[in-house]
Chains A and B, each alone.
Chain A
Amino acid sequence: MVNFKYCYLGLCLIFGIFGVVTSAESGSKRDKPTVAVANYPLKYFTERIVGNHVEVIFPIPSDIDPAFWIPEPNGVLAFQSADVILLNGATYSKWLDKVTLLRRKMVNTSEGFQEQYIQIQEFTTHRHGPQGKHAHAGLAFTTWIDFQQAIQQAEAIRNAVTKLLPEQEKHFGTNFLALKTDLLNLDRRIEEIVNRRRARPLLASHPVYNYFARRYGLNIRSVLWEPEIVPNARQWAELENIIKEHPAKWMIWEGDPHPDSIARLESLGIGSVVFDPAGNVPDNGDFLSVMHQNVQNLKSAYR
């Protein structure tokens, strides 16, 4: 009690007023900095840019759509352990509201074009896959299949990792340019394919092609079908209504559709092509090979 004031003065001297403070910034002490990503395209872009200088983790299981992940503790702890958390933005990761993560570690890779986010008007909830019910309302979030946007996202990743490892700035820059070239190449190929046939009506099995359609000026109408599930009578009737005013000859699918769906569509004179947004890790190949395959598939729809 008697020495209270002296103790305090001593502490002041020892700690200083701001001395202690920087310790709060400490992240994980590992050999390599760690970056956690919220979907596969970000994982691919990041890995391309950082090489082996940064550890890239993607804590969401490969069998679910990362946009509708129901967070579980281990996955969240993995995100917590990262120095930087790369997010897709456009309300892609709805689970962010339900977990304990540091906002200051998060980087919204689509922030650069947030003024151009697309607001979806339809307000339907539906159920598919193991993740339960979900709704496509609010902002469209499949931003990266507009490859110009993908380049901007990759650029945001480059900036984030450069901040993390400034000494690798040049290396990251070179890698980014190579990635940018690949993405521009995809962009140019699609442009070539759709050129002069942009107005051709097209169907999408799922409303995930908004940015794609906007970028390449395509005329796409969406239904809410799942590749692995054969649509019911009501859904077919709905489709038949749509094609009356939107006479599409092709439907784009997120994944390989059920053979019965293909057959029934063909009976209506509609062909099926797959354009996989590759939100999660593909079974074969990587982002680039999947996208090249997508572009290849798209050719038949615009012949």
Chain B
Amino acid sequence: MISISSLEFQHGTGEFHLRVPEFTVAEYEKVAVIGPSGSGKTTLLNLIAGILTPKTGTVSVNHTQVSSLPDAERRDFRIANIGFVFQDFELLDYLNVLDNILHPYRITRALLLNKEVRDRARALAENMDIADKLQRYPDGLSHGEKQRAAICRALLPQPKLILADEATGNLDPDNKQVILDLLFDSVRNHDATLLAVTHDHELLKHFDRVIDFQHFRNGASV
């Protein structure tokens, strides 16, 4: 599903340096990425999503070489194939839950908002147990509910790859488990692949594979 080779990335200032000689994730695999802060985990996710482009090397997702696509196509590819779940949920305060879930459809032309999408959004909310909160605004939700809404938003376009950046980092232990279960169920139901960055070593046992980012700093391949 994901295949990275000889990747080198440098932030504009040149201070931060990331080198990934080899990195692959198979289809339907659930992979956790761990590593100390500042080791480049989030940068890796951004490179895979095509938000950042590497200096050298290639990034392929689902057999498409993301790193060599032009900007607009790379964006369209991301919208169609990759769902993002963030640590801070990143819901918009001024939209209610339903509008937050539908928001990606409203800001890009690549996605078409129709009745079928709306129905699917409701079904997803049902699954996530927030169907009765759709008209609420993020302020009135608990952290768990916010993250459910954020997962709904990420899953709605039916991506084949879900990138979760510390998705459980802001949740209490009970919620962590519930959200992770929901995430795993969803990934399974959608036949998707999951790449999750986490600090939480307790959760690692649930993943198929764990990659310690320490390796990349040392130039190792995974």
Query: Do any beta carbons of A and B sit within 8 angstroms of each other in the complex?
Result: no
Question: Which B residues have a C-beta under 8 Å from some C-beta of A?
Answer: none
